[in-house]
Structure 1
């Protein structure tokens, strides 16, 4: 998706966890359409996130630290003067057995995937409410919020909480700030082998998806470009699911 820059001015965009995987794909999509992009993570990327000569600005942040989050938004306000779009992307979880893992682990997953995005959104809203044009906050959800999430139970629960947050914040922060969710299904990134094994394992997974492929970071990025654009100015409190048609019902395999 491209934007006519003559009629739609460049935006200042923050992507949390924007240095790799889906986040880096989203950052590159906004860079490609001429926006000023800020990415944050605990550690800097090995190479700058860039498209052509356009580079994302990196800020080191531990999103589990409220002090770090507050500093992040102070830096953005002082350094860029405004903030138009936030992509609440940072999160994730390793596969664990919910019966055996420690309660501290569950708390950590909930903090990273639910509390931290809420804290980011709160700080973003404070800045956006002062702007005549308001802004848009996009939460990256997950298909795990909409179906069982064995191995990542706390993560799925956190993402379900995110969807509830999106609906409530969209009401509280309107009309100046729109709040939207984009929920990916199975997305192929540089870390896919940790979940699905080698290429043959990935191929077997892809056979279960109606569109016969896993999603790519660009697919999620295109959804973010749309929901944060002027074309989606009446979209708020919504969840856009990006899953290639979903998972086939088990009964379809019963006669195989």
Structure 2
């Protein structure tokens, strides 16, 4: 059966930034497909809610409360997954971000911080996870969450867009180094209806403008990102590596205008 290829029975995944939003949706999607999941984020109460939902699906959940802006905290998740859940098959690097800032107000330190948070910390977890994946499962799947802004120019995104573009190309490079036993892919979401976009979702005029600037005329649903992650993590996506899947409603230009004036 073709749907059997989307199963993750008895596999173990680590999902960062999983207390809410895309990370929570991905963790729950994996659990529905049969995986046990280590979820990590800063807020324990958010993680507990997601963990309970995973357990209600009949799967195991382990929470790690950590500041994932710390590369060492990211790297430690791999060994914790093996210690608590027995193995490691899948890693989803979902943490990241940077506030929009005009180019001339973006200091070198801010750019370095964005690169560290979005790229270097993902690399720290990858380095820690790969030996354990090879040892316990013989291989695995790594999924990086990038952004549509990583490929489209828009004002105010010098730090965030550059970091996400770097993560996308890191995905391609890592896929070459880790093939054939570990697949590395990425998802580049567009405007998804999560708490990170609440300033848009809560303003009817702004939401309408964003939707009208999106070819599919709506915001994305977190479950649509989770479905893409499930495809990449499961045998269904077994012939993909080094690819960035764009789940963005068809965007060819930014759909959210940052009001930065001309010089």
Report the TM-score when normalising by structure 2.
Answer: 0.86
**Aligned to 1:203, which of 184, 187, 208?**
208
Report the Cα distance in structure 2 between the residues aligned to 1:154 and 1:42, rounded to whole angstroms: 23
Moved over 4 A (4+): none
Runs of 5+ unmatched residues, structure 1: 251-256
Deviation at 1:211, TM superposition (A): 0.9
**Aligned to 2:82, which of 66, 77, 82?**
77
- 1:44 corresponds to which residue? 44
Pair 1:224-2:224 in alignment: no
Deviation at 1:248, TM superposition (A): 6.4
Answer whether contact 2:106 2:159 (CA < 8 A) is retained: no
- 2:187 corresponds to which residue? 182
- 1:254 corresponds to which residue? none
- What secondary structure is seen at the aligned counterpart in 2 of 1:241? strand
Report the Cα distance in structure 1 between the residues aligned to 2:195 and 2:68, rounded to whole angstroms: 22
Report the Cα distance in structure 1 between the residues aligned to 2:125 and 2:200, rounded to whole angstroms: 28
- 1:152 corresponds to which residue? 157
Deviation at 1:123, TM superposition (A): 1.2
Answer whether contact 2:15 2:92 (CA < 8 A) is retained: yes
For residues 130 and 149 of structure 1, do their structure 2 counterparts lie closer, same or farther at Cα, with a shift above 3 Å needed? farther
C-alpha RMSD over aligned residues: 2.5
More helix by share: 2
For residues 29 and 20 of structure 1, do their structure 2 counterparts lie closer, same or farther at Cα, with a shift above 3 Å needed? same
- What secondary structure is seen at the aligned counterpart in 2 of 1:91? coil
Deviation at 1:243, TM superposition (A): 1.1
Runs of 5+ unmatched residues, structure 2: 256-263
Answer whether contact 1:48 1:56 (CA < 8 A) is retained: no
- What secondary structure is seen at the aligned counterpart in 2 of 1:223? helix
- 1:23 corresponds to which residue? 23
Answer whether contact 2:89 2:137 (CA < 8 A) is retained: no
Answer whether contact 1:14 1:39 (CA < 8 A) is retained: yes
Pair 1:115-2:120 in alignment: yes
- 1:89 corresponds to which residue? 94
Report the Cα distance in structure 1 between the residues aligned to 2:254 and 2:118, rounded to whole angstroms: 28
